[in-house]
Every structure is written in C-alpha cells, then in structure tokens.
C-alpha cells in the first residue's frame, strides 16, 4: 500500500514472513537454493521521497538507531540500482526511512525497504516500469528483494529470483514475536551447512483457500533454518513455546533466519489477545498482532 505524506509520496515496506523455508546445500557461488512460501504483514516500515538534486537518506523511527552507522543502507543501494538500470544518473531524491521493524530479525526489513524504494522512485521519477521489471532490478540489490517487490502471497524458489504468486491464498491472523536478540543470516546458514543439507526435492503446487488448508501446508513443510538458529540463540525456543501455549494458536514457526517467530490464529481477536499477553512478557520481547497476506 502507499499513502500520501506531507513530506512527499510514501511507500509501505511490509514485514516478510516465511511460512515455510526449505534450503538446499550451497552452490559453487555460495548461495543456497530455496523453496519458501512467503506472505507479508500489515506491519512494517515506510519510505518517503521528495524531489532533490542528489540521493540522500534520513532515518527516523524506533529502529533508526540500529542503522545509523550503516553506510550503504539497502534503500540507497536500491535507488542507485534503479538509476543505473534506466541509465539516468541525474535522477535524485531525498529519501526518509521510518524504521519500525527490528533489524536482523528474520522479517526481511532491509529487503522490504529496498523494494518499497524501487516502487516509490518508479512513481516519483515517472519511469513507468512494471512489477516484473522492478523485480529484475531488485535481484541486483538482494536475494529477498524481488519477492518484496511483489509483496503478495508467493512461492519463492532459486536464490529468490523465481517468483510464483499464490492464488486464492487466505489472510492469516497472526502474532509476530521478536525475542529481543539479533541474529545474522550468515551465521545461521553457516550452522546449517554444518548439518550436511540435502538437495531440495521438487514440491507440488501450494493452494490454500482457507486458514485450515494454509496451516496444513505449513505443517507439511518446515523452516530448515530453525534448528540451527535455535542452537545459536536458545531464546528462540522459548519464544516458540510461548507462542504455542497461548489460547487459539494453531501453529508456531520461526520466520526466515530468525530470531522472530510467529503463530497463526483463527481470528484477529485471538491474535490481538495473544499479542497483549506476550508483549513484554520477558525483557526485550516484542509482540505484534498482524494480518498476513499481501500488503503492498
């Protein structure tokens, strides 16, 4: 979704949730082949842009402090990639990232911010690129960015570049619980590689018209990165147990490379009650009731 702002046009950057995540052994280039069912939350960051002679980025929001020392934020990387792709180095914008999602949390925050920047600057600069073209450019920014350009229920394969929209996928009431610890994707994959991962088997089509069938598909799948992440950060296990124990929880999983976890509920009221019970239940725990589906 996008919305007007007094500071200029803006674009929502929704949290990315991996309902399932299978990973094969690393390729010769170090990337892992993936097969993941992905949805997006109605909770996330916001990128705002104003016309300017150059490219600049300002940070606001509760998560801004964690990014202040990052010299090449993915927002700027996406802007540079878009300018290069259309061969218009003179284009400029004054960008502002309002950071709400926790960093290094398995929620694809940086990728979502980059994707939102591509969508936003495509409008601001009147480039007329379609979603497929933006996703192609996004692949040069980061593996998860093409999926975040789409920001709708999808199956993501390859190293993230093969996108298959999920048809008739239901909205899923959920709670996202971040247990207060950051976890680097690289460290989780290193720990995963030590387990000797096997090649991915081709999966069937993912069709889910109801919450029940979506939960069944999740139960039949897995997040291959969850066991190594739990070994690295044991509080992930505590978060999963807490999510499983609240009234109305259907299934609980870790998202992405962690440390954020989530659980699915039958209705939004149950999710809201669960988030209220879990938020701040331990120091650093942050729980958010969300609707998982398409958010862009």
CB 39 within 8 A of CB 17: yes
Tokens for 180? Answer: 């207060």
Q: What is the pLDDT of residue 2?
A: 41
Nearest partner of 133 among 86, 165, 90, judged by Cα: 86
Nearest to 143 by CA among 259, 43, 30: 30
Does residue 6 surpass a pLDDT of 60? no
Are residues 181 and 160 part of one domain? no
142-160 pLDDT tens trace? 999 999 999 999 999 999 9
- Please indicate, yes or no, whether residues 11 and 156 belong to a single structural domain of this protein: yes
To the query of whether residue 193 is one of the catalytic residues in this protein, the response is no
pLDDT band at residue 69, thresholds of 50, 70 and 90? low
147 contacts: CB under 8 Å, gap ≥ 6? 16, 38, 108, 111, 154, 156, 160, 163
Nearest to 246 by CA among 214, 218, 269, 219: 269
Pairing state between β 286-293 and 154-158: unpaired
| Same domain, residue pair 48 and 160 | yes
C-alpha closest to that of 147 among 9, 281, 16: 16
Mapped onto helix, strand or coil, the DSSP state of residue 34 is: strand
Q: For residues 135 and 79, state if they share a domain.
A: yes
Is the pLDDT at 295 greater than 60? The verdict is: no
Neighbours of 283 (CB within 10 A): 7
Domain boundary, last residue among 135, 165, 195 = 165
CATH number at residue 225: 3.30.70.890
Share of the chain above pLDDT 90, in %: 86
Q: What is the pLDDT of residue 245?
A: 97
Domain of 22: which CATH number? 3.30.230.10
Task: Reply yes or no on whether the pLDDT at 288 is more than 60.
Answer: yes
Quickly state the pLDDT bin for 71 (edges 50, 70, 90). low
Q: Identify the active-site residue in 16, 45, 77, 99.
A: 16
| pLDDT, the chain, mean | 92
Count of all residues that appear for the chain in the document: 296
Q: How many CA atoms lie within 13 A of 59 on its CB side?
A: 20
The span from the CA of 49 to the CA of 111, in Å, is 17
pLDDT tens-digit map of 173-183: 999 999 999 99
Tell me the pTM: 0.93
Domain boundary among 165, 200, 220: 165
What is the DSSP secondary structure assignment for residue 223, as one 8-state letter?
B
Residue 256: domain span: 172-293
pLDDT band at 4 (very low <50, low <70, confident <90, very high): very low
Q: What is the pLDDT of residues 254-280, one digit of tens each?
A: 999 999 999 999 999 999 999 999 999
- Give per-residue pLDDT as tens, 206-229: 777 899 999 999 999 999 999 999
Annotation marks residue 16 as catalytic: yes
Catalytic residue among 45, 98, 113, 144: 144
């Amino acid at each position: 979704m996008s919305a007007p702002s007094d500071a200029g046009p803006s674009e929502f950057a929704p949290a990315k949730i991996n309902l399932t995540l299978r990973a094969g052994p690393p390729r010769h280039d170090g990337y892992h082949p993936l097969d993941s069912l992905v949805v997006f939350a109605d909770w996330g960051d916001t990128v705002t842009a104003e016309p300017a002679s150059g490219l600049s980025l300002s940070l606001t929001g509760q998560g801004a402090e964690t990014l202040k020392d990052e010299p090449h934020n993915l927002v700027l990387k996406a802007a540079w990639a878009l300018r290069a792709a259309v061969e218009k180095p003179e284009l400029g914008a004054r960008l502002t990232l309002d950071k709400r999602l926790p960093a290094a949390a398995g929620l694809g925050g940086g990728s979502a911010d980059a994707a939102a920047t591509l969508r936003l600057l495509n409008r601001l600069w009147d480039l007329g690129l379609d979603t497929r073209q933006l996703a192609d450019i996004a692949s040069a920014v980061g593996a998860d960015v093409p999926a975040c350009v789409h920001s709708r229920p999808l199956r993501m394969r390859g190293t993230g570049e093969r996108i298959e929209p999920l048809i008739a996928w239901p909205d899923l009431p959920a709670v996202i619980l971040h247990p207060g610890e950051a976890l680097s994707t690289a460290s989780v994959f290193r720990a995963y590689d030590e387990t000797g991962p096997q090649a991915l088997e081709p999966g069937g089509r993912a069709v889910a018209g109801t919450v029940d069938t979506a939960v069944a598909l999740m139960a039949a799948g897995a997040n291959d990165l969850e066991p190594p992440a739990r070994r690295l950060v044991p509080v992930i296990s505590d978060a999963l147990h807490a999510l499983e124990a609240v009234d109305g929880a259907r299934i609980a999983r870790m998202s992405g490379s962690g440390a954020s976890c989530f659980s699915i509920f039958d209705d939004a009221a149950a999710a809201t009650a669960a988030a209220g019970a879990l938020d701040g239940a331990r120091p650093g725990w942050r729980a958010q009731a969300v609707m998982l589906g398409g958010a862009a």
